[in-house]
Amino acid sequence: MAVQQSAGPDPYFPANGDPRYRVHRYELTLDYRPGPNRLGGAARINAIAGRAPLTEFHLNLADFRIGRVRVDGRQAHYTHRGGRLRIRPAKPVRPGAAFTVEVHWSGNPRPVNSPWGGLGWEELGDGALVASQPVGAPSWYPCNDRPADKASYLISVTTPSAYSVVTGGRLLTRTTKASTTTWVYEQAAPTSSYLVGLAIGRYQTVLLGDPGPGGVPQHAHIPAHLLADVSRDFARQPAMMELFQELFGPYPFDEYAVVVTEEDLDVPVEAQGLSLFGANHVDGARGSERLVAHELAHQWFGNSVSVADWRHIWLNEGLAKYAEWLWSERSGGRPARQPAAAAHRLLSSLPQDLRLADPGRKAMFDDRLYERGGLAVHALRRALGDDVFFRMLRGWTSLHRGGAVTTQTFAAHVARFAPEPVEELFDAWVYGTALPPLPEG
């Protein structure tokens, strides 16, 4: 595993994350009441200081009431303004030393503001949903909110027993006392803060296919009235899982879950070991199947292998977009060259001022980044040939499993597999802005 963290703040979100330390593990204990939308929480955060003494540091946390802050068991001085919980330990933390932070908070969670509207905790008509990409995680728990700072999670959520709680990872226990139930999940794999998803609602759980010996358990958590449609729309997800493991390497987590909410979502959203879909993505006719493939592919590209900072988001979205085309090609649909040609025609009619390698904050979710990213991957496939291309992808997911990477890391990795130099290809597709010709073949 190679972890390449940025030396300083994320250039797109300099207020999020603190590069002076890294978190090893979060242990979150939450109590949520859907009616009043009331959240109480306690976090135990195990972290490691960087190369300099930590006289102060910060966590990102939205506007909650803070009950207690301790560092290594001792009360710490803190201020909490503008989404930053600044903490000054009673005694500075030595360089490279492990330390523990405890934070207690409570209040009414709501989305945090962003250029794309509210992100993070969303109160639904009957329950709640968390989709945090890229900076919504502080809407519900204190975190070092930078994608390269990946940690394991133990999450305990207590809520009224009529509700199910779903998050990524393995369900350890479910304990009912009186009218409430406590759900405890473990996510052992390194996880970026924005990839900790959560759904609380009245869901029915179904198994999506029989994983068999050594297979990946896949469950769907859905409103009961959508069972028939979801069963058709996600029927081919187990086959996707098999194909993507063949093409990309072993599935990087223990389990995979999908949640379909009662409400519409603009787009599905990936979390680690979990994808969140709206009721509008279910039609009983597999109308959103490409999105099912896209979100599943993110488990390899974006979740297991994460970006070191948000400048490199095309590595997530371009590879997931290409996975849509690969699924189409391998499942009896259009070969990848056809959606690639359609993407090229679309891009040729749009402004050509987007650079994949550093699109800028305003354009990091631009449709052009997805389409051009998919085309860049298609150009690599044509240049390398199928055998080398898929060996390259499997090597990428294996070498960087659980880590964080950059565009430069990817270019160097591709070069080690390529029979011919690929600098010009990367210059044209990734570092340039003008649209290159459609790759042949």
Can you read off the two tokens belonging to residue 15?
């207020």
As beta bridge partners, residue 175 has 182
Tell me yes or no: is domain 1-193 CATH 2.60.40.1730. yes
CATH of domain 306-431: 1.10.390.10
What pLDDT does residue 440 have?
A: 82
pLDDT in tens, 82-132: 999 999 999 999 999 999 999 999 999 999 999 999 999 999 999 999 999
What pLDDT does residue 7 have?
A: 59
**Length of the chain, please?**
441
Q: 317: annotated binding-site residue?
A: yes
Candidates 223, 110, 229; CA nearest to 166 is 223
Residues of the chain with pLDDT under 50: 1-6
Q: 294: annotated binding-site residue?
A: yes
Same CATH fold assignment for domains 1-193 and 306-431: no
What pLDDT does residue 4 have?
A: 41
Residues catalogued as catalytic:
295, 370
Q: Is-contact 304 230, C-beta < 8 A?
A: no
- What residue spans define the domains of the chain? 1-193, 306-431
What pLDDT does residue 3 have?
A: 39
What pLDDT does residue 5 have?
A: 44
Q: Is-contact 227 204, C-beta < 8 A?
A: yes
